[in-house]
Structure 1
Amino acid sequence: MASTCSLQQHGRVPASINLHHKQQRSCSPRISVMVGNRNVMLLQGFIYNNNVSKRRPTAGLVVRCSGIGLGDFIGGDLVKFDIGQWLSDVEEHKALAIYPPHEGGYEGRYLNRLIRQGYYFLDLSARGLGDPETTLTKVHPVCPAHLGKQPIARWYFPPEVDFRLEHLPPDAKGLVVWIIEAKVLSKAELQFLALLPTLRPNVRVVAECGNWRKFVWKPLKEIAGLTAEGA
């Protein structure tokens, strides 16, 4: 230190010493970053750089979390704490709009629980379904793909829902119509699906109307714009 002061008095301070002091003054000891509900405090150490060596001390990290529950730490994909609410909402509303995560797989936990309750399933895709009322509750025509100069044929199939209701086992609790890609359906088609349990009391409807960060659901009547009085 004494040698440095003497060099400064005589005006002969090396460039490396000035650079070292400038880096120490420019280093910020603490940086605060906001990430959602988490405050991440990064404690940044001093960095010493020159042409010969490079030293980077380990930074301390303190994470503060808020707005999370026990389910975020224990069994995120296995233990579902809302299974009881799921079963009660299926029985109460009878038609639900679900929003599973994009990666998929989570809805299978809730589907398996309905199977354990005694429900049987009819899996359909909204793409190519046609008119839901005609396909599910009426005798409907189906035109198979024709090749080349073959004549265009038309086959008639029984109602998808009524046909399966007639062949349910005696101990079955009911039939769940699980429709994937229901986000392509119109509002009128969603309204019919919301009213289908009223027309067929042993039928429950689950429609995948979109995606969300976690598995959530709402009554299908709310999504379709139907009120309790209008239903």
Structure 2
Amino acid sequence: MPLLLSGRVFRRDLDACGCLAMHVPLEGGSETRLLRRLRAAGYRTQLSSARGLGDPEVFLFQLHGIRPPHLGHQSVGRNGAVGEVQQVMPQLAELFVDNVPVVLWLLEGQVLSRSELLALCDLCKRESRLRVVVEMGGARSLNWQPMSTLLGV
């Protein structure tokens, strides 16, 4: 990897594909450089973990409910068995205010199933301002490919 990564090729590939699968060196650093380059180019960015994502469209764009984790024995009252459902704001709603492209960078993407990755690709096709980068694991050098190529679609 070059010492100074300009990010032009990455940005061009991201705009062309919409959803990229990325393999990054395990020591880190390259993804933050690319995020900084994207922000400087006018993109809005959101860094998040892929663990616990669930349904990508609902989690990112719609008001949805979550339950607290089960903590063992609870009182048998109203909320003892299942817990109270808390409403959570969508993660990307406030980023789509203007007509500015938004990049969602998902860490630990290797835990996502094939159907979740396909849902992210479809989401990028439907929402033209959304770009998704999914880190799919480690590699000796920084490389990326379109998610559709990785999935064989």
TM bracket, shorter-chain basis: 0.7 to 0.9
Tell me, yes or no, if the aligned pair for 1:126 and 1:179 is still in contact at 8 Å.
yes
Supply the distance in 2 between the matched residues of 1:113 and 1:180 (Cα, whole angstroms): 18
Aligned amino acid, residue 156 of structure 1: Q
SS of the residue aligned with 1:104? coil
C-alpha displacement at 1:99, in angstroms?
Answer: 0.5
Question: Structure with the greater relative contact order (CA < 8 A, sep ≥ 6): 1 or 2?
Answer: 2
1:158 matched residue in structure 2: 89
C-alpha displacement at 1:157, in angstroms?
Answer: 2.1
Aligned amino acid, residue 143 of structure 2: V
Aligned amino acid, residue 179 of structure 1: L
Identity, in percent, stands at 34
Supply the distance in 1 between the matched residues of 2:12 and 2:112 (Cα, whole angstroms): 26
In the alignment, is residue 100 of structure 1 matched against residue 31 of structure 2?
no
Supply the distance in 2 between the matched residues of 1:101 and 1:138 (Cα, whole angstroms): 34
C-alpha displacement at 1:100, in angstroms?
Answer: 0.4
1:113 matched residue in structure 2: 37
1:203 matched residue in structure 2: 130
Structure 2 residue runs without a partner (length 5+): none
In the alignment, is residue 137 of structure 1 matched against residue 64 of structure 2?
no
Tell me, yes or no, if the aligned pair for 1:95 and 1:204 is still in contact at 8 Å.
yes
1:80 matched residue in structure 2: 5
Deviations 1:195-230 (A, max 9, x none): 21222111110100111111100001112232xxxx
Tell me, yes or no, if the aligned pair for 1:137 and 1:161 is still in contact at 8 Å.
yes
- The normalised TM-score by structure 2 is 0.84
Supply the distance in 2 between the matched residues of 1:198 and 1:112 (Cα, whole angstroms): 24
For 1:20-99, list aligned pairs within 5 A. Answer: 76=2, 78-80=3-5, 83-99=7-23
Supply the distance in 2 between the matched residues of 1:138 and 1:224 (Cα, whole angstroms): 26
Tell me, yes or no, if the aligned pair for 1:117 and 1:173 is still in contact at 8 Å.
no
Supply the distance in 1 between the matched residues of 2:122 and 2:130 (Cα, whole angstroms): 10
C-alpha displacement at 1:137, in angstroms?
Answer: 2.9
Supply the distance in 2 between the matched residues of 1:118 and 1:105 (Cα, whole angstroms): 21
Aligned amino acid, residue 30 of structure 2: Y
C-alpha displacement at 1:140, in angstroms?
Answer: 1.7
* Number of residue pairs matched by the alignment: 146
Cα gap change, 1:202 to 1:181, in 2 (>3 Å):
same
Aligned amino acid, residue 221 of structure 1: S
Supply the distance in 1 between the matched residues of 2:111 and 2:70 (Cα, whole angstroms): 26
